[in-house]
Structure 1
């Protein structure tokens, strides 16, 4: 009987451990590399960039399917644009970063 109680307790923790979250970067600068990372969920992952805070908007950028939990993007969306990183996993779970505004960089892409 203890086995079943322990198994049930562990099963109740799994959704919290595997829940999908997207890390909000502290700053995003035009023409510079930006690490996008996420935790939890189940691969493969589908990563997009949408207008800041607009979860139903069409993507501004869509990346190739990812099997890991991070990718590096050379920022090619103009400075001043507010964006949100969106990640969806193979189970359909979806997570969003906070909105961030792209800062001006020294170069051009």
Structure 2
């Protein structure tokens, strides 16, 4: 089967427009009332990040970078995960992780 150059280029453009899959990193440690750096790769900006936990979710919309400094404003021993969606509706999700304790409770 033969394809014209224009058909091949159109198919390649369609694949490239989909963007890379989003991979959001699970932090090695998230500590109560300290900054946690959320990072991800892939996807097409802008991004909408949700921090999902047992009580509710926090939403940060219109992010243009692939990093987000989050003030970990949840108490120790809270289970949570990060969920992200990009401008093309592709999604990514971290693994479930646990907030670690701290002497600082000023953010709660």
TM-score bracket relative to the smaller structure = 0.7 to 0.9
Return the offset for 1:60: 2.0
Question: Alignment partner for residue 23 of structure 1, among 17, 22, 25?
Answer: 25
Partner of 1:55: none
- Answer yes or no: is the 8 Å Cα contact 2:18–2:88 preserved in 1: no
What TM-score do the two structures reach when normalised by structure 2? 0.78
CA apart distance, 1:105 = 1.1
Name which one, 1 or 2, has greater alpha-carbon Rg: 2
Across the aligned residues of Structure 1 and Structure 2, the Cα RMSD in angstroms comes to 2.8
In structure 2, which of residues 3, 13, 35 is the aligned counterpart of residue 33 of structure 1? Answer: 35
TM superposition shift of 1:65: 2.0
Q: Structure 1 or 2: larger strand share?
A: 2
Match of 1:90 among 65, 87, 90: 87
Partner SS state of residue 63, structure 1: strand
- In structure 2, distance between residues paired with 1:74 and 1:89: 22
- Structure 2: gaps (5+ residues): none
Aligned length: 104
Could you tell me which runs of 5 or more consecutive residues in structure 1 were left unpaired when the two chains were aligned. Answer: 53-57
State the partner residue of 2:59: 62
Shift in alpha-carbon separation, 1:51–1:80, aligned structure 2, 3 A: same
Q: Which residue of 1 aligns with 2:68?
A: 71
**Aligned equivalents of 2:97, 2:17: Cα separation in 1:** 28
